[in-house]
Structure 1
Amino acid sequence: MLDRTRRRPGGRPGRWPSVVIVGSGIGGLCAAIRLKRLGVTRLTILERSKEVGGTWHANRYPGIAVDTSILNYSLSFDPNPGWTRLYAGGRELQAYLIGLSHRHGLRKHIRFGVTVEELRYDESAGEWSVGTVGGERFRAQIVISATGVLSNPAIPELPGLDSFKGRILHSAEWDGSFDAAGRRIAQVGSGATAAQLVPELARDAEAVHVFQRSAPWVLPRDDRPIGRFEAAVYRRLPWVLKARRWHRFWLNDRIALGFERQDRTIRRQEEIARAFIERSISDPELRRLVTPDYSIGCKRRVMSDDWYPALQRPNVELVPYELREIRPRSVIGGDGTEREVDTIVFSTGFQVRDLVPMKVFGAAGKELHDAWADGACSYLGLSVHGFPNLFFVMGPNTGIGAGSATFMIEAQVRYITDALGHMRRYRLHSVDVRKDVQDAAYEKVQARLSRSVYGSGCVGWYQSPNGKIDTLWPGLNAEYWWRTRRFVRSRYHCRPAGPGRTR
């Protein structure tokens, strides 16, 4: 492939830098595919599991499925015209990701069963030393952290948890041998995962007690099979699939804009959700219990056609309180009632505030989590000052309240590959985002989030204990694409290879 970009005066481009990617979910795979297409050969992908897929490999609970239209939840340069449903199940999604790893020749670059424990930057060499739990060390000029935020399960510290005599399960660490038949289950959590899991558990369980700390806003998913004719159209006329993808993208981006501006979009979304409650639930008391008391969008919306029907099954009880205490064979909720159970299922999400699940020591020896003690300050979720040659996929403030994460992933990967191309052309030892650039960008994002629906007063996993929101992008996904369309050298300290000063 010809490099038609401007080169360093008086010299040829250098070699592509060596790269280690941590994680082989959709973000890590996208980065690896793009780097290979550029010509990067010194590429290693470290994956702690036994297979690629990230979230879709780790999560195996019954009913797991994507909650964004599958027409958008795939890579734009490798779409799948053969999806069987509009909201594909987890196994189908993992099969797509495994297929990506084979089609693009990534398997030879992946080291499975390797858990990264530490990243440490060697400033003199301009390289990262990557330490693993097994004692191995890898060295690379560039590290891309693609660990995602939905990887480390969160289980609340509840009194008596260790004393429970029955089964304890977390939706993210599901035991495939578990049979719900005849079980009395305490379901902890009522968010997006619970909305998929509870309908499946309720089919066979004797009783399911759903402990709901706060009601989620639920919108109809309108899932349906993708028939043979529709699939054939997508295969033979790929522009139809692309057109439908972009149509859904702009519909979602209009919602994202409404969430930032708190305009009539929120009212319209709430009208749809309230109408869904009215036509789905006949009992006035249950209607009241499932109606949230905060603005839609402040917490993650739930897309489900099965949640409300499941709550009305005779063997399902909605408990509008959080779980307070666990005893050997029972649980006690905020209402003080003791309920006999033999199984506890936690659908309590992930440790999303721990955005990087390993120790990271930068140029001055400072640890990343210490640098983020007051907030995950970064430049567009991609770079952090003092940590040269380290990039993030789905880093801080790049999650979305409406739309598809794959769009954001592709924007980030394009920026990272442009940065690496710049380093090659100009033979750069390292690139480190300027602190003033980073701080200004972070403060602007935080200010926008504080005025958005995400900062309107509810408490959920979007917010940190200090009140900052380090998970979400505040506005249009298209705006993020625009801001990351190219690597801007003036925003970084760029150190040339060999003797010389930082530019």
Structure 2
Amino acid sequence: MAILLKRAGFADFTLFEKAGDLGGVWRENTYPGAACDVPSSLYSFSFAPNRTWPRRYSEQPDILGYLERTADKFGVRDHIRFNTEVVGAEFDAESRRWRIETAQGEIFEADVLVPAVGQLSRPAVPDLPGADTFTGEIFHSAEWNHDVDLSGKRVAVIGTGASAIQFVPRIQPQAGRLTVFQRSAPYVIPKPDRAYLPLHHRLFRSLPLTQRAGRFATWSTGELLTMALTSAKPLGKLLELLFRFHLRRQVPDAALRARLRPGYPIGCKRLLFSNDWFPALAQSNVDVITERITGITPTGVRTDTAEYPADVIIYGTGFKATEFLAPMSIRGLGGRKLTEAWEGGAHAYLGMSVPDFPNMFILYGPNTNLGGNSIVYMMEHQARYVLQILHRISRGELSCVDVRPEAAGRFDTEVQRRLADSVWSGCSSWYREENGRISTNWPGLVWEYHRRTAKVDFSAYREVPAGERVAKAG
């Protein structure tokens, strides 16, 4: 968003960053093996290709380095206030401006508010009885304690999601005993990764079209994967066959294979990619436990039938993905809290605009996450969409706009209807609220989102008069 603002000639904007440096999820997640499961040719900005990615699927240090270089190249860093946590924002009806409050007690005013805090920034730590009594080291994978030496230790890993399948194979050779607690088995298929050779880098530099062709091929594959999860479910059967072949080839023990077979439709939870997850679990120093965890003792993890000793406990339990914009307090027209507007589940027109919250546009908001493609693609189109509105505001054609409730309602009804027919409705996952509502994922192809956000339909918005307290339909 900041880069597009600068390229469009906007200069008066500020980014508030809670941490001491940029990078978001790629700054925070430094666990062993942290990497992206989208090829880097697509998991990067279209306007800033990197000709020297070391691998097809890049790891955390390389992605963070790319973000830092890109921010410096486009002069974004000068606009960032680091170590500045926003705790709240309130819309002032008289001035039609946002009053933004930081943890330091500072107040800033802005014409437009763009929350861009993502969906995977707040670790989800299970509330297990006795966790505070554990005498060893305990931490979440997103807050990895690099001071802890795992060599020869008894390590308990709670969770088998996207982070766990990356760090477990890396720590397995170090651990004396590794106990993996699995609530539900994930579907894991091969990761078509490879290291790029100097020849690849020379080719990308001399013939950029080759890298763009790879980006398009990856994008197209992602669209097919999305279809397998939404509108063309028979394609999902092919993925399931691939999973079964992958499992049988890498896990010779039939009893272990049985524990590693999911009991839900493929794609219902996040589909994972790994070449070393199953081999790691098949090692002699690894146990996979499927019993329910009942608590943590001073010396280990307790289940319904046994206690498993541990020197170190690592949570691989993901993030609070459905708690959008938390813990910030956001108030719109009439002092209405965003948490009240989102009672029962977060929703936003095109994932960006919420009725009664004028001139607020969310990036990576409700129902814009993807099951099979690159979120960077989605966020670029969101930023371009917001930029269209800002151009109108800068030209004086608009001043303060609010999405019409009926437009937002029609959109949400459509999205939820389509999601009800998707594979994501078939099980409990981080895609869903406790009440079953899917508030994270987009129900269609990314091409459809591109088309629907390419040109702003200004009839879906209205100008908010100065002093208005309550939004009115129409």
1:447 correspondence with 2:402: no
**How far 1:156 sits from its partner (Å)?**
0.6
1:42 correspondence with 2:40: no
**How far 1:139 sits from its partner (Å)?**
0.9
- Corresponding residue to 2:157 among 187, 193, 197: 187
The match for 1:15 is: none
**How far 1:426 sits from its partner (Å)?**
3.8
The match for 2:428 is: 459
For the residues of structure 1 that align with 2:156 and 2:280, how far apart are their CA atoms? 15
- Aligned CA RMSD, in angstroms, stands at 1.6
Contact 1:428 1:495 survives alignment (8 Å): no
Contact 1:377 1:439 survives alignment (8 Å): no
The letter of the residue matching 1:199 is P
- Corresponding residue to 1:82 among 52, 59, 66: 52
**How far 1:322 sits from its partner (Å)?**
3.7
The match for 2:407 is: 437
Contact 2:405 2:473 survives alignment (8 Å): no
SS of residue in 1 equivalent to 2:333: coil
Identity %: 38
For the residues of structure 1 that align with 2:473 and 2:346, how far apart are their CA atoms? 26
TM-score by length of 2: 0.97
The match for 1:142 is: 112
The match for 2:441 is: 472
For the residues of structure 2 that align with 1:293 and 1:262, how far apart are their CA atoms? 21
The match for 1:63 is: 33
For the residues of structure 2 that align with 1:54 and 1:97, how far apart are their CA atoms? 10
The match for 2:196 is: 226
**How far 1:424 sits from its partner (Å)?**
2.1
The match for 1:236 is: 206
After superposition, give the CA deviation of every residue in 1:68-122 in whole Å (9 maximum; x if it has no partner).
1111100011011100011111011000001111000111111110111001111
The letter of the residue matching 2:45 is L
**How far 1:56 sits from its partner (Å)?**
0.2
For the residues of structure 1 that align with 2:407 and 2:267, how far apart are their CA atoms? 29
After superposition, give the CA deviation of every residue in 1:286-320 in whole Å (9 maximum; x if it has no partner).
11111111111110011111101110111111112
**How far 1:251 sits from its partner (Å)?**
1.3
**How far 1:175 sits from its partner (Å)?**
1.5
TM-score by length of 1: 0.91
- Corresponding residue to 1:156 among 126, 138, 151: 126
**How far 1:452 sits from its partner (Å)?**
0.6
**How far 1:498 sits from its partner (Å)?**
11
Contact 2:26 2:60 survives alignment (8 Å): yes
**How far 1:365 sits from its partner (Å)?**
0.5
SS of residue in 1 equivalent to 2:45: coil
For the residues of structure 2 that align with 1:233 and 1:470, how far apart are their CA atoms? 42
SS of residue in 2 equivalent to 1:42: coil
The match for 1:341 is: 310
The letter of the residue matching 2:324 is L
SS of residue in 2 equivalent to 1:143: coil
The letter of the residue matching 1:50 is G
SS of residue in 2 equivalent to 1:86: coil
Q: How many aligned residue pairs are there?
A: 470
Structure 1 gap ranges (5+): 1-30
Structure 2 gap ranges (5+): none
Aligned pairs for 1:109-120 within 5 A: 109-120=79-90
1:331 correspondence with 2:289: no
**How far 1:262 sits from its partner (Å)?**
4.6
**How far 1:136 sits from its partner (Å)?**
1.2
The match for 2:266 is: 296
1:176 correspondence with 2:133: no
The match for 2:334 is: 364
SS of residue in 2 equivalent to 1:255: helix
Contact 2:94 2:466 survives alignment (8 Å): no
For the residues of structure 2 that align with 1:242 and 1:497, how far apart are their CA atoms? 47
**How far 1:496 sits from its partner (Å)?**
7.3
- Corresponding residue to 1:317 among 287, 296, 305: 287
SS of residue in 2 equivalent to 1:401: coil
1:53 correspondence with 2:52: no
**How far 1:421 sits from its partner (Å)?**
1.0
The match for 1:286 is: 256
Contact 2:120 2:319 survives alignment (8 Å): yes
**How far 1:428 sits from its partner (Å)?**
2.0
After superposition, give the CA deviation of every residue in 1:194-251 in whole Å (9 maximum; x if it has no partner).
0001111111111110000000000111221011001111111111111110111111
Contact 1:434 1:493 survives alignment (8 Å): yes
For the residues of structure 1 that align with 2:266 and 2:100, how far apart are their CA atoms? 42
Contact 1:495 1:502 survives alignment (8 Å): no
**Bigger shift: 350-359 or 425-434?**
425-434
Contact 2:404 2:473 survives alignment (8 Å): no
Contact 1:383 1:391 survives alignment (8 Å): yes
1:208 correspondence with 2:178: yes
The letter of the residue matching 1:248 is T
Contact 1:188 1:323 survives alignment (8 Å): no
Contact 1:117 1:131 survives alignment (8 Å): yes
Contact 2:93 2:467 survives alignment (8 Å): no
**How far 1:380 sits from its partner (Å)?**
1.2
The letter of the residue matching 2:278 is Y
Contact 1:429 1:496 survives alignment (8 Å): no
1:408 correspondence with 2:378: yes
Contact 2:16 2:84 survives alignment (8 Å): yes
The letter of the residue matching 2:342 is W
